[in-house]
Amino acid sequence: MSLRTPLSRVRGHGSAKEGAHLWIAQRATAIALVPLGLFLVASVMATIGIPYEAARAYLAQPLVSISLVLFVIASLWHARIGLGEVVADYASSDRTRVLLLLLFNFLAFGLGAACLLAVLRIYFAG
Amino acid sequence: MSKHAAGRPLSPHLGVWRWSPTMASSIFHRVSGVGNSLGLLVLAWWFVALASGPEAYATFVAAASSAMGRFILFGFTVSLCFHFLNGIRHIVWDTGHGFDVSKSAAWSWFNFVGAIVLALIIWVLGYANLGAL
């Protein structure tokens, strides 16, 4: 057992040389989500109260489909980083942290696959 | 470092701070971020229901337009609006601007009030779109 403090052990080794990619991806997706989020709200407002076929026809427009696909990717990516940050800060044990990160990753990819398949189905059905 | 030694005293880190606007907006940025993540589940339901067929879509619309559904969706709208406004402030902070105390406190207030106003505007427009107004 070492009596050295964790701080003294890492001192002098320089930075970890990696890790900034999540910080950058969080900002990049945030900037992308400004217009994409506005577009999502507009899409929801355009489809509330209209019949099923009309809502499908609205989403099947190429620009709408593309924007929604981009929103799904950017928002799930952003959420995955953000939730990971929350878990890293509050998880009380390594086991909880790993299990929650695994769960969030499965959810992000699972929801992403479901959303993308759904939007593409609507798009290709015309 | 993740395990606290049993019986060691913890500093009273949660109870001793007076709430300040910047502290509140920081906490609610996280809370609304987690809330928005839950909202993505509803978004996925919307997409999948629309792709699945008229019956699945009718089930979704019935759930979303029920009193509870509207209450939850309004909550998601406020959460989304707050995270949107405060997220823009975070991007501005990343450029090194807007850090002085009075300005960041005022901006925090603006984001709280702005989120509720923006959500109300969206819902009024939504109801107007439905022809309910």
Please give the C-alpha separations between residue A17 and each of A35, A85, B132, in angstroms, as whole numbers: 32, 19, 57
Q: What integer best gives the mean pLDDT of chain A?
A: 94
pLDDT digits (tens, 9 = 90+) for B51-103: 999 999 999 999 999 999 999 999 999 999 999 999 999 999 999 998 999 99
Domain residue spans in chain B? 21-130
Question: Which residues of A, range 1-40, sit inside 8 Å of B by Cβ?
Answer: 6, 27, 30-31, 33-34, 37, 40
Average pLDDT over residues A89-95: 91
Residue A12 maps to a domain = no
In a domain? residue A38: yes
Instruction: Note the residue count of chain B.
Output: 133
**Residue A11 covered by a domain:** no
Helices (H), A48-93: 52-59, 62-90
**Cα–Cα distance measured from residue B88 to residue B86, given in angstroms and rounded to the nearest whole number:** 5
B94 and A27 in contact by Cβ < 8 A?
yes
A68 interfaces chain B, CB cutoff of 8 Å: yes
Q: CA–CA separation, A112 vs B57, rounded Å?
A: 19
- What domain range is A86 assigned to? 20-125
- Residues near B131 by beta carbon (within 8 Å), at least 6 away in sequence: A49
Could you tell me the pLDDT band of residue A9, with boundaries at 50, 70 and 90?
confident
Q: Which fold has domain B21-130?
A: 3 helical TM bundles of succinate and fumarate reductases (1.20.1300)
- A35: in domain: yes
Q: Do A83 and B44 touch (CB under 8 A)?
A: no
Instruction: Please answer yes or no on whether A117 and B51 come within 8 Å at the CB atom.
Output: yes
CB contact, 8 Å: B54 with chain A? yes
Query: Residue range B45-55: average pLDDT?
Result: 97
In total, how many domains does chain A have? 1
Confidence of residue B4 (pLDDT cuts 50, 70, 90): low
Q: Which residue has the tokens 């709408």?
A: A64
Percent above pLDDT 90 for chain B: 80
Please give the distance of CA A38 from its chain centroid, rounded to a whole number: 16
> A108 pLDDT band (50/70/90 cuts)?
very high
pLDDT-derived band of residue B2, with 50, 70 and 90 as boundaries? very low
A63: domain CATH number is 1.20.1300.10
